[in-house]
C-alpha cells in the first residue's frame, strides 16, 4: 500500500549534466535506510522535462532495480501529449513500477473534458495503477474536483497528488472522493494538516534532504496524533518554504550537494541556485538539524 512519506526524488547529475547513476544508487539506499515509504522517479523534481525518453525510462528502471521490491516505486509518466504519456506509462509499467504519476498536460491548457479524455486514454492504454497530479501553479491547468470524480470511476485511476496548496480544496476532495481513492499532498507545507484530515500521504520535495523527519511526521499524522505531528513538522517549515526560493528542483539539488549527497549538476534551462539564496537554504537546513 502506497502511503506516508513518498519522496519526489531528484535525478542526480554531474557538472556536465550527465545522469549520475552511481549517485542515484546512493540516494536510493539513503532513502531505504531512512525508512522512506515510497519513491517517485522522474517526476517534476526529477527534471522530467529535460530527460529524453531513453534517459527517462532508464532512471525509472534503475530505481526499480535498486529498490528491488522493498518499497513502492512510482514512475512519473505525465506529458502534455497524450501519445507520449501513453508511451511513457507503458514503458514504466514494463520496467516494473508499482504505479504511475501523471501530471496534467501543461502549456496547451486543455478543457476539463480534454483532461478527462486524456487521462482516460492513458488509463485504457496502460492497465497499471495511475495517480493523477494537479499542480496548477506549474501547468496553467487546474483539474477540477468534478473531473477527478469522473476519472475516479476508471478502475486503474487510483488517486490524486494535490498540489493546489489549498486546505479548502483538500476538504472538498476528502468530502467528495470515494473512501478508497488515494489522496496525497503535493505541498509539503500543509501535508501534516492534510494527513491529519484524511490524506494518505505526501509526495515530498523536503523528503529528499530530511527523509527520517518526514517519515516520523507522516507516521504521527496518519496515526492521528496532531500534537506530535505538528511538533515534528515545525522544524521542517523553513525547508518546506525555502526549497522553493527558486524553481524546484534548483534549491533541493543545491541542498543535497551541500549535504555531500550529490554533485551540483542540473540541466538548462535550470541553473544552479543563485548565490544570494545560499544562506537562506543553509539556514533552513540548520533549522531542521541537517547542518
Look at residues 266, 286, 282, 291 and name the one whose alpha carbon lies nearest to residue 14.
Answer: 266
106 is catalytic: no
Look at residues 182, 106, 176, 100 and name the one whose alpha carbon lies nearest to residue 142.
Answer: 106
What is the distance between the alpha carbons of residues 217 and 221, in angstroms, rounded to a whole number?
Answer: 6
Domain boundaries, the chain: 4-223
Look at residues 230, 248, 154, 235 and name the one whose alpha carbon lies nearest to residue 193.
Answer: 230
116 is catalytic: no
- The answer to whether 19 is a known ligand-binding residue is no
Q: In whole numbers, what is the pLDDT of the chain averaged over residues? A: 98
The CATH superfamily assigned to 4-223 is Aldolase class I (3.20.20.70)
Catalytic residue among 106, 116, 161, 253: 161
Mean pLDDT of the region 216-230: 98
Using one digit for the tens of pLDDT, what is the confidence trace for 43-95?
Answer: 999 999 999 999 999 999 999 999 999 999 999 999 999 999 999 999 999 99
What is the distance between the alpha carbons of residues 77 and 95, in angstroms, rounded to a whole number?
Answer: 12
Mean pLDDT of the region 111-139: 97
- Quote the pTM value: 0.97
- In this prediction, residue 256 carries a pLDDT of 98
- The answer to whether 11 is a known ligand-binding residue is no
Amino acid at each position: 500500500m502506497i502511503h506516508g512519506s513518498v519522496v519526489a526524488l531528484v535525478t542526480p547529475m554531474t557538472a556536465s549534466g550527465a545522469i549520475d547513476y552511481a549517485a542515484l544508487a546512493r540516494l536510493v539506499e539513503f532513502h531505504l535506510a531512512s525508512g522512506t515509504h515510497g519513491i517517485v522517479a522522474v517526476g517534476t523534481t526529477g527534471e522530467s522535462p529535460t530527460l529524453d525518453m531513453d534517459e527517462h525510462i532508464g532512471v525509472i528502471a534503475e530505481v526499480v532495480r535498486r529498490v528491488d521490491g522493498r518499497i513502492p516505486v512510482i514512475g512519473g509518466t505525465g506529458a502534455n501529449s497524450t501519445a507520449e504519456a501513453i508511451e511513457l506509462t507503458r514503458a514504466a509499467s514494463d520496467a516494473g513500477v508499482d504505479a504511475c504519476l501523471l501530471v496534467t498536460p501543461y502549456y496547451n491548457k486543455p478543457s476539463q473534458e480534454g483532461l478527462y479524455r486524456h487521462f482516460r486514454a492513458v488509463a485504457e492504454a496502460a492497465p497499471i495503477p495511475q495517480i493523477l497530479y494537479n499542480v496548477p501553479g506549474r501547468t496553467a491547468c487546474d483539474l477540477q474536483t468534478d473531473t477527478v470524480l469522473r476519472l475516479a470511476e476508471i478502475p486503474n485511476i487510483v488517486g490524486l497528488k494535490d498540489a493546489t496548496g489549498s486546505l479548502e480544496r483538500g476538504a472538498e476532495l476528502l468530502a467528495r472522493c470515494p473512501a478508497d481513492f488515494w489522496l496525497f499532498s503535493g505541498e509539503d507545507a500543509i501535508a501534516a494538516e492534510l494527513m491529519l484530515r484524511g490524506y494518505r500521504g505526501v509526495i515530498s520535495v523536503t523528503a529528499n534532504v530530511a527523509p527520517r523527519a518526514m517519515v516520523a511526521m507522516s507516521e504521527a499524522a496518519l496515526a492521528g496524533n496532531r500534537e506530535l505531528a505538528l511538533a515534528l513538522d515545525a522544524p521542517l517549515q523553513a525547508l518546506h518554504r525555502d526549497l522553493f526560493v527558486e524553481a524546484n528542483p534548483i534549491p533541493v539539488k543545491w541542498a543535497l550537494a551541500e549535504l555531500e549527497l550529490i554533485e551540483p549538476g542540473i540541466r538548462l534551462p535550470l541553473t544552479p541556485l543563485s548565490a544570494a539564496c545560499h544562506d537562506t537554504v543553509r539556514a533552513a537546513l540548520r533549522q531542521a538539524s541537517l547542518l
